Structure 1
Amino acid sequence: MLNQWYDRTIAFLPNLILIAIILVLTLIISRRSQTFVYRLAERTQAPPEITDLLGRLARIGIVAVGTLLVLDRLNLSGAVLSFVAGLGIAGIIIGFALQDIVKQFAAGVLLLMLRPFRVGDDVKIGAFEGRVMQVQLRATVLKTLGGDEVQIPNADVYSTAIVNTSRYELHRRTIALTLPPESDLGRSRAALMQILTSVPGVVANPAPESAATGLVGKTVQLEARFWVDERASNVD
């Protein structure tokens, strides 16, 4: 009996050594794969949320492969495959039940990867306008102009037109004025242009311009159009 146990142990020893090697390599490769993802993310300037998610997925994937290899050496691969198949069926059922959550998660990942806006940007998303406070995997959080917090589901954000007013420095502004009947249109336009060019943030190129847009009774409607550099602007 003891001899049989000894013979089996000696016969299994190569497998045992191979299992130990697989486990060590799995740990090393899983850690290095996560480090590789972090370094790649730094080069591509990927968002921290995506970097962390991809790093964890890479590590989990390597560990899963290593575990399957170990179980195969233990002659348990058949049972594992049956278990994985069962998990696949259960995953499909759970996926149908949680499809809305999965949809929000997928949209959140796409938003973090494509980055149509960043935290701190002023945006208009559908009927909401405000500053981006957070981009979560489920929802995008805005602080509205009135100081309220709005959480917009990421699937809605991804499928809606987004206006990012913080993307570019220059923005065109328009001012409408009503001139009394006795006003001199030429002098009024010249005075308006002089005032605009003296305002910090109003750029000279493209140059400000003004034009009469119509008459209301005896008054003249004057409209001024100019471009503002938001980095140096005091114009609201």
Structure 2
Amino acid sequence: MDINKAYSLIMNKLTTWFENFVKLLPNLVIAALIIVLGFFIAKVMERFALKMVQRISRLHTVNKLFASFVYFVVVGIALFTALDVLNLDKAVTTALAGAGILGLALAFAFQDIASNFISGIFMSFRRPFNVGDLVELGTYKGRIDAINLRDTALTTLQGQRLIIPNKQVFQNPILNYSSSGIRRLDMKIGVSQGDDLEKVRALTIETVSGIEERNSAKDVEFYYEEFADSCINFKLRIWLKDTEQKTYLTARSKAIILIKKAYDEAGFTLPFPIRTLDFAMKGGQSLSEVPLKIESISA
């Protein structure tokens, strides 16, 4: 008797499950179609997003990341729609709420990594520099080797490889020597106050105009700036052919040698600091007027 009762309960349960399955079958078919269609649309959107983002970003890693993000968003929408058709959206929402709390905790734990990652994404769109550019990042100067999501690698002018977190790069001034394609050499020089300033100007411009590294399309610029303690200072500006650091250093070295030689031949003076020593009790008295007292030391 108990066996028959158990059998009856099992059959009733199976019958109920079968009836529910039959009722749910149309929804299962619709949900399956939504998922298949969602994956297809997600793939199309991924390709489209990749083409669009490549127009504004040259960082391949960021481009792939953005395209993958679009793909998973579309797939997620399709999955949620399918679960809603199956009346399972509430259970998934509860699970996602728990995952959100876990994600928030992880975000606090890895906030430095996240900030570097986000800075890398912003930099890929701003494009303050490209691989191969000569840049100055804060106190560091060198040539960019690689731009990653988390950090930027450059080789310093001394040949060392330097890795800088993207957060530090993004939050500090960036000086790019290569972006404009031109570079200027600025030199501050002083001449004696007794020299003919017009002749100094003409001779200096003529002397540096023949430097091979100079950009002949731009004139040499010469400006007197100030009366200093023992000289008159002027600013000399020479535009260069390219932005290479070697070109800059070579042009500066040649300019110093040529100017020194030309001034020596012309009799112009490159002053050096002068100090006046007053040995008298009264200001303005010459050293020859001061009586000297020499004491002998007996053994």
Q: 1:171 touches 1:228 (CA, 8 Å); kept in 2?
A: yes
Distance 1:208 1:108 in 2: 40
In structure 2, which of residues 137, 141, 149 is the aligned counterpart of residue 137 of structure 1?
149
1:118 aligns with 2:134: no
TM-superposed CA distance for 1:85, in Å, is 0.6
Which of the pair is proportionally richer in strand?
A: 1
Distance 1:235 1:130 in 2: 14
Aligned residues with identical type, % of pairs? 29
Summarize the Cα distance change of 1:227–1:69 in structure 2 as closer, same or farther, 3 Å threshold.
same
In structure 1, which of residues 44, 60, 63 is the aligned counterpart of residue 72 of structure 2?
60
In structure 2, which of residues 116, 120, 126 is the aligned counterpart of residue 104 of structure 1?
116
TM-superposed CA distance for 1:159, in Å, is 1.2
Distance 1:230 1:153 in 2: 29
1:36 aligns with 2:48: yes
Residue of structure 2 in register with 1:227 after alignment = 239
Query: Quick check: 199-208 or 165-174, which moved more?
Result: 199-208
TM-superposed CA distance for 1:121, in Å, is 1.2
The 3-state SS of whatever aligns with 1:143 is: strand
- Matched ranges for 1:37-186 at <5 A: 37-175=49-187
TM-superposed CA distance for 1:157, in Å, is 1.2
Residue of structure 1 in register with 2:272 after alignment = none
Distance 1:43 1:97 in 2: 34
Query: Quick check: 42-51 or 137-146, which moved more?
Result: 42-51
Q: How many pairs are equivalent? A: 235
Q: 1:212 touches 1:223 (CA, 8 Å); kept in 2?
A: yes
The 3-state SS of whatever aligns with 2:222 is: strand
Summarize the Cα distance change of 1:95–1:186 in structure 2 as closer, same or farther, 3 Å threshold.
same
1:194 aligns with 2:201: no
In structure 1, which of residues 2, 8, 12 is the aligned counterpart of residue 24 of structure 2?
12
The residue type paired with residue 241 of structure 2 is D
Distance 1:193 1:43 in 2: 45
Q: 1:50 touches 1:113 (CA, 8 Å); kept in 2?
A: no
Unpaired stretches in structure 1, ≥5 consecutive residues: none
Distance 1:145 1:125 in 2: 13
The 3-state SS of whatever aligns with 2:54 is: helix
Query: Quick check: 115-124 or 180-189, which moved more?
Result: 180-189
Q: 2:121 touches 2:149 (CA, 8 Å); kept in 1?
A: yes
The residue type paired with residue 48 of structure 2 is F
Q: 1:197 touches 1:203 (CA, 8 Å); kept in 2?
A: no
TM-superposed CA distance for 1:3, in Å, is 6.9
The residue type paired with residue 129 of structure 2 is F
Q: 1:201 touches 1:231 (CA, 8 Å); kept in 2?
A: no
Q: 1:49 touches 1:112 (CA, 8 Å); kept in 2?
A: no
Distance 1:91 1:42 in 2: 29
Summarize the Cα distance change of 1:215–1:83 in structure 2 as closer, same or farther, 3 Å threshold.
closer
Asked which structure has the greater CA Rg, the reply is 2
Query: Quick check: 193-202 or 54-63, which moved more?
Result: 193-202
Residue of structure 2 in register with 1:21 after alignment = 33
Q: TM-score, normalised by structure 2?
A: 0.67
The 3-state SS of whatever aligns with 1:54 is: helix
Unpaired stretches in structure 2, ≥5 consecutive residues: 1-10, 250-299
Q: 2:57 touches 2:63 (CA, 8 Å); kept in 1?
A: no
TM-superposed CA distance for 1:179, in Å, is 7.0
The 3-state SS of whatever aligns with 2:123 is: helix
Distance 1:94 1:28 in 2: 32
Distance 1:111 1:56 in 2: 19
Residue of structure 1 in register with 2:295 after alignment = none
The 3-state SS of whatever aligns with 2:211 is: coil
Distance 1:8 1:198 in 2: 94
The 3-state SS of whatever aligns with 1:146 is: coil
